[in-house]
Amino acid sequence: MDNYGLVESEVLLTRTCAACGRTRTIQEQLEHSSTYFAHPWNYAAGCKTNCLACWLGVGAGDEIDVGPESASFQEKVEHALR
């Protein structure tokens, strides 16, 4: 399994998300959501400090606008497709 440059001790360490306070290990995220660690989401850059939901902007503290008329929604879709 690709650990995206993280050593085993980092991957197994229980971490608390800086944004929402949820606890998790990077190993759990790798097992269930490994596709988010690479481009375009690049979760590997934020996995030490944030849970995946907060990194993606859909965590407990995030305001989520799902209306298709929303410019921010359209920008997020376009960015994800790059």
In a domain, 51, yes or no: yes
Q: Taking every pair of C-alpha atoms in the chain, what is the biggest distance, in angstroms?
A: 45
**Residue numbers of the domain that contains 52:** 8-81
Placement of tokens 């965590």 in the chain:
59
**What's the predicted TM-score (pTM) here?**
0.70
> What single-letter DSSP state applies at residue 6?
-
Q: Which two tokens stand for residue 61?
A: 């503290």
Number of domains in the chain: 1
Q: pLDDT in tens for each of the 82 residues of the chain? A: 467 888 888 999 999 999 999 999 999 999 999 999 998 999 999 999 999 999 998 887 776 665 555 556 667 667 666 6
Are residues 19 and 59 in contact, defined by beta-carbon separation less than 8 angstroms?
yes
In a domain, 2, yes or no: no
